[in-house]
Amino acid sequence: MSEHTEAKRVGKTEAVYTRLKAEIEDGSFEPGQALTEIMLVAHTGASRTPVREALRRLAAEGLVDIGPRIGATVARISLRSVRELFDYRRLLEPAAIKMVVEEAAADPSITAKFRSIAERFSSLEGQPHSDAFVASYRELAEEFDVTLIDSTPNYHLSRAIRELRPHSARLRRIAHTDHERLGYAVKEHIGMCEAIAAGEADNAAEALRLHLVHVDEAIFKALLSSGREPRGSVIDLVS
């Protein structure tokens, strides 16, 4: 195989992987949904090889399950997996935000970024729930998360948080079904940004910890409600 052919194959695999990952994160492919090669070839316009390689990458990241008889399916969401994810996030992210506060004290550009995010969150306060409101909230929450990761000076810590993002993204969509909760989440993000800008490391860490507790609770509430669905639901309540 020539270098050009190999580069083209790798590029196609990356494109398929990126697309499928985004569609799993945003719920276009739902938990438990079958991902057959035939369907994905038609869906992406790629050949079977890049599709298979993309599925293997997604399986390694825990976003896809591959079984000997059932083939590939989107990984299901369980109460246990949610609890374990948020337990881990509550260990990592408060530690990261403390480091970011220290970095911001020496780098005014970091402070400016979080002040800007806080101002834009403030513009959402009091707005009625709508598709536009949810879209604006998601965009700002994404910007907050990315800025926090990019500003974390410890490479291994920032990488660990970044690798959790696809799993968190799948759950964020569930949490956002609670309309009232989004209003509180806006205030929580403002509080976190303001604590960073004020150099209050402990307050920032506690605000982030409480935010994660509240998101965790909202997701649990939504998943338990979905447990009333017939057997075979895409949500596993125990495993």
User: Both 114 and 220 in a single domain?
Assistant: yes
Cα(217)–Cα(90) distance, integer angstroms: 13
Domain of residue 195 covers 78-226
Entry pTM: 0.81
User: Both 113 and 210 in a single domain?
Assistant: yes
Residue 231 has pLDDT above 50, yes or no: no
Asked if residue 235 is part of any domain, the answer here is no
Residue 197 pLDDT class (50, 70, 90 cuts): very high
**Beta 64-67 vs 71-74: how paired, if at all?**
antiparallel
pLDDT tens profile 143-194: 999 999 999 999 999 999 999 999 998 888 787 777 788 999 999 999 999 9
Most confident of 58-72, 82-96, 125-139: 82-96
Range 162-173 burial, b when 16+ CB lie within 10 A, else e:
eeeebbbbbbbe
Asked if residue 236 is part of any domain, the answer here is no
**Strand, coil or helix: 78:** strand
Residue 10 pLDDT class (50, 70, 90 cuts): low
Q: Which CATH number is 129's domain given?
A: 1.20.120.530
User: Both 16 and 85 in a single domain?
Assistant: no
User: Both 21 and 132 in a single domain?
Assistant: no
User: Both 85 and 70 in a single domain?
Assistant: no
Assign residue 32 a region (left: φ > 0; alpha: ψ between -120 and 50; beta: otherwise).
left
Residue 210 has pLDDT above 90, yes or no: yes
Q: Which CATH number is 43's domain given?
A: 1.10.10.10
Give the mean pLDDT of the chain.
Answer: 89
Which residues lie across from 78 on neighbouring strands?
A: 236
H or E element at residue 150: helix 131-151
